Amino acid sequence: MEKIKVAVVGYGTIGKRVADAVRLQDDMELVGVTAHSYNYKMLAANEKGIPLYKTAEPGNLGTLKTQGSFEDLLKQVDIVVDCTPRLQGAENKKKFYKPNKIKAIFQGGEKQDSAEISFNAQTNYKEAVGKDYIRVVSCNTTGLCRTLGAIKKKYGIEAVHATMIRRGADPWDIRHGPINAIVPHLELPSHHGADVQSVMPDVNIFTTAMSVSSTLMHVHSITVDCKETPNAEEVAKLFEKTTRIRMVDNESQVRSTAEVMEFAKDLGRGRSDMPEIIVWKEGIGVTGKKLLYIQAVHQESDVICENIDAIRAAMGVEDAKASIEKTNKSLDIDTCYGCAGGVCEIPE
Amino acid sequence: MEKIKVAVVGYGTIGKRVADAVRLQDDMELVGVTAHSYNYKMLAANEKGIPLYKTAEPGNLGTLKTQGSFEDLLKQVDIVVDCTPRLQGAENKKKFYKPNKIKAIFQGGEKQDSAEISFNAQTNYKEAVGKDYIRVVSCNTTGLCRTLGAIKKKYGIEAVHATMIRRGADPWDIRHGPINAIVPHLELPSHHGADVQSVMPDVNIFTTAMSVSSTLMHVHSITVDCKETPNAEEVAKLFEKTTRIRMVDNESQVRSTAEVMEFAKDLGRGRSDMPEIIVWKEGIGVTGKKLLYIQAVHQESDVICENIDAIRAAMGVEDAKASIEKTNKSLDIDTCYGCAGGVCEIPE
Amino acid sequence: MEKIKVAVVGYGTIGKRVADAVRLQDDMELVGVTAHSYNYKMLAANEKGIPLYKTAEPGNLGTLKTQGSFEDLLKQVDIVVDCTPRLQGAENKKKFYKPNKIKAIFQGGEKQDSAEISFNAQTNYKEAVGKDYIRVVSCNTTGLCRTLGAIKKKYGIEAVHATMIRRGADPWDIRHGPINAIVPHLELPSHHGADVQSVMPDVNIFTTAMSVSSTLMHVHSITVDCKETPNAEEVAKLFEKTTRIRMVDNESQVRSTAEVMEFAKDLGRGRSDMPEIIVWKEGIGVTGKKLLYIQAVHQESDVICENIDAIRAAMGVEDAKASIEKTNKSLDIDTCYGCAGGVCEIPE
Amino acid sequence: MEKIKVAVVGYGTIGKRVADAVRLQDDMELVGVTAHSYNYKMLAANEKGIPLYKTAEPGNLGTLKTQGSFEDLLKQVDIVVDCTPRLQGAENKKKFYKPNKIKAIFQGGEKQDSAEISFNAQTNYKEAVGKDYIRVVSCNTTGLCRTLGAIKKKYGIEAVHATMIRRGADPWDIRHGPINAIVPHLELPSHHGADVQSVMPDVNIFTTAMSVSSTLMHVHSITVDCKETPNAEEVAKLFEKTTRIRMVDNESQVRSTAEVMEFAKDLGRGRSDMPEIIVWKEGIGVTGKKLLYIQAVHQESDVICENIDAIRAAMGVEDAKASIEKTNKSLDIDTCYGCAGGVCEIPE
């Protein structure tokens, strides 16, 4: 079978990870990534043997070696994963992908109507099969879809309120703060709720957000008014057997986002990433029909596996379960101690 | 009329502020504070002319000048405000206050049964009048009582869920972290809910908490299932006219806890404190009967005015409104731009 | 005697403090400050009764009440303290101050040639007497001048190397980082050395700088190759009796910038400022002719007293010592425990 | 040839990295590591197939599977790498290693006299050959030895002053601060200078230190009074060809410790480590005979390669260059863009 030929356009936090992940798939080939400026990210890509192509807009590439122009790159591929900054993807679609009849995967920073479907693999893979333009929802939305999807199936959802405590900046970002403040997002509701509804339209959800002085992960404090009375232990088991969710516990001293990230290092994960949504066992509580839980989202990596599945869906691969399992295996997802050997629940 | 003679036992974050506040009351006299160790706090107290007395347990006082022993201090006072570390107050009560028949105010770190009543001035001042031992609830509980009290009176409360995003350490505390993590409190519910119920027994409340890398204020994300449908603008007005709550807004660039603290500096507040509970106007939202709002609590100062009122209640001053207004005036509370000249709602 | 009529142009971190300080001088009158935007700083100014005037460039003042235009303000004053952002002062000088023949004090963000003299009160007050345009050097340079001036007089200076560990952003600033990084300033030498030479031209100094995740103070690690062999205890005494330097020590638990700032709160300083340069007693070391010491600079406040003295110098007040002492007294400087009652060394 | 049989005692920040590194050496075998408590580190070790043995002191191992007792472990090995907390290594030596005639490598937290030699591979490998007890100096000392060794050989050293800006806590450590402070180390000189002299006895060095709110790396601001006049560009080249030093530059946007760590991720390093000492090209300056430079030390990983070389030295492998090159290759050190293909200077 021919491999899917993939280009990554935009080589930043998400782009570089998608490129790494594509290289790990036996049914895909990374034709190249775009390079705009001389910097350590591109130097490392060069060193790893990733082919670089110039961006459409000329930049300053210094001594970097490229394999050709942006057009050269597009000519060779079946599909582009567009990881450019917010709203530039829609621009690229109009100027490059549509005229060249190339399929494209966009990120959550694009508007919903930039693509035919907003995507979360374990929620709506099937509906995305064969689409030309798929939008992988943002890191926070992805995290909400994974756990709410499981809850909804089991107990039904009346209403959800989530407070997102967001990392102020990514680990490499030295420009942005806050250094010493908690910064509430003063627009209510935050956009995350509506974004969840782009994937799960019938979920009644209201979200608020704030930023704090950390670079590591987002944390969500979630309250779900369930239709049927939930049970905390049962919820823990439910999450344990749901794919791309990892249960951790106080007992094993994973007490914070810092320790989650250290655990990822200890497990030998690529770039020390933790693509699974983390749920603390001791942080699950029930009062009446209200379920409360605390989850953490590794903003840099949880959408990477989604992008890989989205590529397959766009290219017509019909079996969601097979794609998810293949992606998981390649990225070492679901081999945690807790559920090792367990059967991960993956939607049919 | 004779002034109430007050001793402050434990001269830390709360103790030093209570001492300052007592000195501002025309119906109280600060007889002295206890000194245990030579440090900058005691040096500053000395410089300000605050009389120091030795603690019961001997410490290292270096060149500090004291006015006498712990017993000397107790002999001269009507009431003690005990601001010693968690659980030491109960010890002191047994060993010193009870045998000497001295009334005492305790802080939120003591257990509920250490006192006859858990106290929040605008909620239950009347019930505390004449009591010998009053416990002022913690900073977070105080913050919850102030806003929930107003909500309850207006709309009725079915259930409350609050997520507290706590400052990791006080501004002066260089020992504690986290430096770069979000640390969920992995006991559910957190103790704050039960503590609110010590003041407002009939409120159904569930609280979760986490710590972040900031020294400035706690922030609460609160969801209230109201009995009657609330209205966001009306809630803003309700908070505006409730005492010891200060509405701020994005429009005036108070967008974070850092800017709240800077505002306190700009207002010329003592020690740059902000004793009012801060509620963001743009952070109030309503969906159905659910009311959501975000508030910030200055952990070092919001309970100081409560201690002053508790002193009066313990000493038999019956008029809650008069005490609250007197305390407010002395501490420059409620003279904010927003509600200047307004009538602050104070319980009869 | 007629009071000096002062306007403050630019009401930010420095401007608002200069305005407060001018109001504390019995030989000065604050005619007004400029207001450009509606925000909490201006609301607080309004509340404190500080007259506001519109800026030359129209802004959005919302409900703020102003007393007139920028021209109205300039007409009434003898001198302007220009605290506008970097390089705008030179612009204002050309467009407003020079044509209107008004004297002006500029801040360290302006270039050296924007004024007739770069100023540090205890170093070169006399040379500034009667000048029309005086530039108060930046917070870091002010800190270096204060301590190096004393060292130079006593031991002579062969060469200085200082590493400045800078706070990443001011306390109120939620936009800037770093959140979790040490960021070296990659231009060598940093500009601070040349700026010291604008005040002390014959000092051979080389400076490097880096930014860290703190909002509180800059810290300098300083090595001086002295001409004569210094002695650590003697240096401590020298600093103790030099004005606007405050010795602190580990013994009194002032172990960090956080505790310095808490000490300022405990002392009841306005805005909780610490205008003195802080030197740690236990941080002074000598090896051969090399003197090493560690000092901390409160970036928001150490230049405020310098601005007040600069006003007097510009207006022809000849007695440096009298001005410095008057300013100190008004701002509660030099009443620290360590040197209370001591004779502060002030240049003749 | 028979493989060297190694045990790692103490499986924390250093121990787990040494274990990983030993497993990458073709002349070594990791017999096992000690496990004391059930936690995520041990779970990950289990998952990676690392044999666990109980510590001498019994702990709580929960469901962890171990291969035997501490004695069982010691019986099987030629050498122990002791990575236990400060000062416990000396204890272990007396109680276990000496009686059992097992060689041991200790870490920098042990006193100098705990071993026969304090070790830095590229400085004094030869002197360590065949020794029974070798102490690998601490991360900071290792960093200083690497760069000062090169400087000394080329220009001679009259005197060194280094200010170490230390990370406040390791990335996983949520307990320690400071959150918002710069904390000078108030003992002069700091211990680092004397520790450098344990490896390079004839270097006149004076060190000061402070802690900041970062978890990522230590940064050193270093001044060297050279015997011969240095040249900045020449120094950059010198460092480029010295092993285990990596030159980075502003031009490639490696402007901070955060970006160094991101670069390590991008290079695919194990645990995202950066074992080389980082020197910024634009941070090298010369004034007269004074050389100034800024370097960063990854506190978690720079000593790991040293431990591997120390094992070989202890076991009698005589060729320093061969050991260093072998270790480097296994850990992917020295394949940076800057010096790729260059000849790394390694002591004969």
Write the pLDDT tens digit of every residue in D231-286.
999 999 999 999 999 999 999 999 999 999 999 999 999 999 999 999 999 999 99
In a domain, D269, yes or no: yes
**B347: in domain:** no
- Domain extent, residue D260, equals 139-297
Asked whether residue C313 falls in the same domain as residue C291, the answer is: no
Provide the CATH number for the domain around residue C191. 3.30.360.10
Asked whether residue C177 falls in the same domain as residue C257, the answer is yes
Query: Does D188 lie at the interface with C, CB-CB under 8 angstroms?
Result: yes
Residues 6+ apart with CB under 8 A from C59: C35, C36, C37
Question: What percent of chain D has pLDDT above 70?
Answer: 96
Beta carbons of C171 and B266 less than 8 Å apart: no
Cβ neighbours of A263 in D, within 8 Å: 40, 44
Cis peptide before B178 (omega within 30 of 0): yes
Band (pLDDT 50/70/90 cuts) for residue D336 is very low
Here the tokens at position C274 are 């610490």
Query: Omega of the bond prior to B58 within 30 degrees of 0, cis?
Result: no
Q: Judged by CB atoms within 8 Å, which residues 102-131 of D form the interface with A? A: none
Domain assignment of residue D337, yes or no? no
Where residue C24 sits, what CATH number does that domain have? 3.40.50.720
User: Residue C76: in which H helix or E strand, if any?
Assistant: none
Q: D140: which chain C residues are within 8 Å (Cβ-Cβ)?
A: none
Q: With bands split at pLDDT 50, 70 and 90, how would you rate the model's confidence at D223?
A: very high
Q: For position C337, what pLDDT does the model report? A: 39
Question: What is the arithmetic mean of pLDDT over A231-250?
Answer: 95
Which residues in B lie closer than 8 A to residue C40 (C-beta atoms)? 248, 252-254, 259, 262-263, 266
Is A164 at the interface with chain B, CB within 8 A? no
Q: Chain C residue with minimal CA distance to A174?
A: C178
Does this model's pTM top 0.90?
Answer: yes
pLDDT confidence of D345, banded at 50, 70, 90? low
Give the distance from residue B266's alpha carbon to the nearest chain A alpha carbon, in angstroms. Answer: 17
* Residue A63 CB coordination number (10 Å): 9
CA distance A182 to chain B (A): 6
Structure confidence at residue C339 (pLDDT): 41
What is the residue whose two structure tokens read 């079978």? A1
CA dist list (Å): A77 to A34, A119, B166, D43: 13, 22, 49, 42
Q: What is the pLDDT of residue C256?
A: 98
Contacts of B275 (CB under 8 A, 6+ apart): B244, B298, B301, B302, B304, B305, B331, B333
C215–A168 CB contact, under 8 Å: no
Interface contacts (A, D; CB < 8 Å): 106
**Residue B346: its pLDDT value, please?**
58
Q: Give the CA distances from residue C97 to residues B10, B35, B47, C13, C191, in Å, rounded to whole numbers and listed in that order.
A: 55, 55, 44, 22, 27
- Partner residue facing A266 (CB), from D40, D215, D263: D40
pLDDT tens per residue, range A125-169: 999 999 999 999 999 999 999 999 999 999 999 999 999 999 999
**Is B85 an 8 Å CB contact of chain D?**
no
CB A137 within 8 A of CB A145: yes
Inter-chain Cβ pairs, chain C and chain D, closer than 8 A: 149
Residues of chain B with Cβ-Cβ distance to D180 below 8 Å are 171, 214-215
C183 and C277: one domain? yes
Q: Does residue B342 belong to any structural domain of this protein? A: no
pLDDT tens for each residue of C193-242:
999 999 999 999 999 999 999 999 999 999 999 999 999 999 999 999 99
B116 and B29 share one domain: yes
Query: Rounded CA gap, C90 and C138, in Å?
Result: 16
Domain count for chain D: 2
In this complex, which of A186, A217, A223 lies closest to B283 when CB atoms are compared?
A: A186
Q: Which tens digit of pLDDT belongs to each residue from C75-132?
A: 999 999 999 999 999 999 999 999 999 999 999 999 999 999 999 999 999 999 999 9
From the CA of C327, how many Å to the nearest CA of chain D? 29
| Catalytic residue positions of C, numbered | 139
Q: Nearest Cβ partner of C180 from A175, A180, A215?
A: A215
Q: Which chains does chain B touch, 3 or more C-beta pairs < 8 A?
A: A, C, D
**B270–chain C Cβ distance below 8 A for any pair:** yes
C287 to chain D: nearest residue by CA?
D206
Nearest CA in chain C to B174: C258
* Same domain membership, residue A220 and residue A114: no
For B144, B243, C230, the CA distances from B149, given in Å and listed in that order, are 8, 11, 65
d(CA D69, CA D48): 20
Cα dihedral C61/C64/C70/C72 (nearest 10): 150
Asked if C40 lies within 8 A of B173 by C-beta distance, the reply is no
User: Do residues C143 and C291 share a domain?
Assistant: yes
Identify whether residues D18 and D143 lie together within a single domain: no
Beta pairing class for A103-106 and A133-136: parallel
Q: Are residues A196 and A240 in the same domain?
A: yes
Comparing alpha-carbon positions, the chain D residue that sits nearest to C259 is: D181
| CB distance D302 to D275 below 8 Å | yes
End-to-end CA distance of chain D: 24
D41 vs A: CB within 8 A: yes
Cα C78 to chain center, whole Å?
22
Selecting from B176, B180, B214 the residue whose C-beta is nearest the C-beta of D171 gives B180
Name the DSSP class of D288: T
Asked if D226 and D246 sit in the same domain, the reply is yes
Given an 8 Å threshold on Cβ–Cβ distance, is D161 in contact with C161?
yes
Report yes or no on A39 lying in a domain.
yes
Contact check, Cβ <8 Å, C45/B266? yes
Q: Is B348 a member of any domain?
A: no
For residue B345, being part of any structural domain is answered with no
d(CA D161, CA D182): 20
Residues counted in chain D? 348
pLDDT averaged per 10 residues in sequence order, chain B, 348 residues: 95 98 98 97 94 94 94 97 96 97 97 97 97 98 98 97 98 98 94 95 96 98 98 96 94 97 96 97 96 98 98 97 95 59 48
Best of A140, A167, A182 to substitute, by most chain B Cβ atoms within 10 angstroms, is A182
Q: For residues B215 and B324, state if they share a domain.
A: no
Residues 6+ apart with CB under 8 A from C63: C38
Q: Does one domain contain both A258 and A323?
A: no
Convert the pLDDT of each residue in D148-197 to its tens digit. Answer: 999 999 999 999 999 999 999 999 999 999 999 999 999 889 999 999 99
Residue D284 contacts C where some CB pair is shorter than 8 Å: yes
Residues C174 and C270 placed together within one structural domain of the fold: yes
How many contacts does B have with C, using Cβ atoms within 8 A? 105
In a domain? residue A76: yes
